[in-house]
């Protein structure tokens, strides 16, 4: 989650975000959405202490999580996007495609893209990169044609210097649950615009939690040519496709 506005969060703050009562750390490690995933995606999701196990693209994927920050958890949008890529891998063929993930977090979406044959660059804030790199290496080594790259990226800052759009062109830009209660929505949209050039397809999956999320959708639609690819009403998750608007 590449926004410097967000720092480490405590369990109390996480519970407030999910609008649930705080649970004692000793009795419930994962609360709110992170736990409710089990009902959405079984049997693709299995649970272990400190490690989440998923099954996508013909492989078991082990993701190390933590409550230390938003970027160290797998959120519903990431699961929805992984499932969409799995279900539509023939129509949305990532084989040999250049793929960029912004706000990669735990790296689950990037791992799935790698396993589907993409050349992936996963980006996030400096404090997220260690766990992101760990999860990518753990799940792609000796499994993938291309070695995924991990790069520091802060939304809206030094974009052309870090990943110049004049040199680098991505076939797909992926983003999952990058819109939530933070102050970097303008910077996020600027980052999306920077990377979504002619010929690029942007896939954005998000759980809709706050009024600001709906406001961002309006700006998103004004900025890009958009299509609502999928919607899961009972979990308030939407997946959008966007392309460059002349």
The C-alpha angle with vertex 179 and arms to 119 and 168, in degrees rounded to 5, equals 30
Cβ-count burial of 27 within 10 angstroms (0-12 exposed, 13-18 middle, 19+ buried)? Answer: exposed
Q: Can you tell me the distance from the alpha carbon of 168 to that of 179, in angstroms, rounded to the nearest whole number?
A: 25
Give the pLDDT of residue 19: 33
Give the pLDDT of residue 28: 36
Each as own residue / partner, the long-range contacts of residues 17-25 (CB below 8 Å, 24 or more positions apart, any chain) are 17/180, 17/181, 17/209
Q: Can you tell me the distance from the alpha carbon of 1 to that of 164, in angstroms, rounded to the nearest whole number?
A: 20
Q: Residue 109 phi/psi, 5° resolution?
A: -65, -40
Give the pLDDT of residue 212: 86
Give the confidence band of 72 by pLDDT, cuts at 50, 70, 90.
Answer: confident
Give the pLDDT of residue 135: 96
In which residue are the tokens 């693709």 written?
Answer: 44
242 pLDDT higher than 70: yes
- Per the prediction, the chain carries an average pLDDT of 83
Give the pLDDT of residue 32: 54
Give the confidence band of 36 by pLDDT, cuts at 50, 70, 90.
Answer: low
pTM: 0.81
Give the confidence band of 44 by pLDDT, cuts at 50, 70, 90.
Answer: very low
Give the pLDDT of residue 123: 97
Give the pLDDT of residue 180: 84
Give the confidence band of 102 by pLDDT, cuts at 50, 70, 90.
Answer: very high
Give the pLDDT of residue 2: 56
CA-to-CA dists, residue 65 to 20, 47, 73, 199, 233, angstroms: 20, 11, 5, 34, 26
- The per-residue pLDDT for range 184-212, each reduced to its tens digit, is 999 999 999 999 999 999 999 999 988 88
Give the confidence band of 17 by pLDDT, cuts at 50, 70, 90.
Answer: very low
Give the confidence band of 16 by pLDDT, cuts at 50, 70, 90.
Answer: very low
């Amino acid at each position: 989650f590449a926004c410097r506005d967000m720092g480490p969060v405590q369990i109390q703050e996480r519970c407030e975000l999910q609008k649930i009562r705080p649970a004692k750390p000793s009795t419930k490690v994962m609360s709110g959405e992170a736990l409710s995933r089990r009902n959405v995606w079984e049997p693709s999701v299995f649970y272990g202490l400190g490690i989440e196990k998923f099954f996508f693209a013909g492989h078991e994927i082990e993701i190390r999580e933590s409550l230390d920050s938003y970027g160290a958890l797998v959120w519903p949008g990431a699961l929805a996007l992984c499932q969409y890529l799995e279900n539509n891998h023939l129509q949305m063929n990532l084989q040999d495609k250049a793929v960029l993930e912004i706000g990669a977090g735990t790296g689950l979406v990037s791992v799935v893209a790698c396993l589907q044959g993409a050349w992936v660059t996963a980006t996030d804030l400096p404090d997220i990169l260690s766990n992101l790199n760990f999860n990518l290496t753990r799940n792609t080594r000796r499994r993938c044609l291309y070695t995924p790259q991990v790069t520091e990226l802060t939304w809206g800052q030094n974009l052309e210097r870090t990943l110049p759009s004049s040199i680098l062109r991505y076939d797909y830009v992926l983003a999952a649950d990058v819109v939530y209660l933070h102050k970097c929505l303008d910077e996020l949209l600027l980052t999306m615009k920077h990377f979504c050039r002619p010929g690029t397809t942007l896939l954005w999956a998000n759980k809709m939690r706050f009024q600001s999320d709906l406001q961002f959708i309006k700006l998103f639609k004004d900025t890009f040519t958009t299509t609502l690819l999928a919607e899961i009403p009972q979990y308030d998750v939407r997946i959008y496709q966007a392309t460059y608007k002349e």
